[in-house]
Amino acid sequence: MKRAFLFAGQGSQYVGMGKDLYENFDVAKKMFDEAEKIIPNIKKVCFEGPEEDLKLTKYTQPGIFIVSAILNEILISKGITPDIVAGFSLGEYSALYSAGCFDYITGIYLIKERAEAMNESAQNNPGTMAAIIGLEDSIIEEVCKQITDEGEIVVPCNYNAYSQLVISGTLKGVEKAVEILKSKNAKRAVILKVSGAFHSPLMNSAKERLKNYIDKIEIKKPKIPIVMNVSANIENDPAVIKELMIKQVVSPVRWKESMKKLIELNIEEYYELGPGKVLAGLMKNIKNDIQVKNVQNLEDIKNL
């Protein structure tokens, strides 16, 4: 039976994540302690909060990556290994780690750079995002194009599932899109509590900063197949993977297509690694009969 590991993205974090792993697994203690040297205070923020601190990009992104990487190691130590991997936005870095494209410490430094670059870009180019539910992608795309043509920036940024699309752009642009899409009978059109317009052209400065960093590091050929966000395809050329990692910051996450790719490949067993159950919920929408096993804490590991 072919098995996929899916890795959680930003927004799935919660105070206390990783604490029981740290207390019960030597590998978790080692990996958190190593990360603490690079990102001071990360353990306290993940384990104890406060939530306001954990929501800061500089803690959220590394925190989720650390927990996901630890769970990857624990599952592999139990003989549960992936045949293919994918990760949602930030989670793509966990997937790349799982596939052997870089080691853990390189991953921490990469995430630190990504988080700082995105945060800086968000402060310099304020924007927001909105979740749109219950409309065809084409209708949302057309509204985004119309508003962008009129001078504001709004783009589709996360193709999550059927009739679930997130848009990203300037504050005025997203607000206007939400009004129009509500008038077109969207079931929901809600502005999200985020710190920036991620996966949009407003992140161009983050893209350039990340490019300078990624160009200097070695990305190894994946040991197992990885489906990348930007292409929704299996990629194994390190040069192409680098290019897609850089593009991802300003490009849509094509999650629905990525999951359809796994289904086409007859992947039968799915594990969601990391905090939350967002990806399991999206899979329910994409193909209702697929069960995704959530692995985020000690209890989940005991139940495997």
Q: Which domains does the chain have, with CATH numbers?
A: 3-123+201-302 (3.40.366.10), 127-191 (3.30.70.250)
Q: What is the mean pLDDT of residues 176-190?
A: 97
Residue that has been written with the tokens 């990305």 in this structure? 219
Please provide residue 245's backbone torsions phi and psi, each rounded to the nearest 5 degrees.
Answer: -60, -40
Segment 126-135, tens digit of pLDDT: 999 999 999 9
Residues labelled catalytic: 89, 199
Whole-number pLDDT of residue 24:
98
pLDDT-based confidence at 3, cuts 50/70/90?
A: very high
Please name the residues in contact with 289: beta carbons below 8 A apart, sequence gap of 6 or more: none
Whole-number pLDDT of residue 81:
98
Q: What is the mean pLDDT of the chain?
A: 97
Whole-number pLDDT of residue 196:
94
Whole-number pLDDT of residue 1:
86
Task: State how far the Cα of 164 lies from the Cα of 283, in Å rounded to an integer.
Answer: 12
Share of the chain above pLDDT 90, in %: 99
pLDDT-based confidence at 264, cuts 50/70/90?
A: very high
Beta bridge mates, 231 = none
- pLDDT exceeds 90 at position 193: no
Q: What is the mean pLDDT of residues 130-154?
A: 98
Segment 60-88, tens digit of pLDDT: 999 999 999 999 999 999 999 999 999 99
What is the token pair recorded at 182? Answer: 């509500």
Q: Is there a contact between 249 and 210 (Cβ–Cβ < 8 Å)?
A: yes
Whole-number pLDDT of residue 77:
98
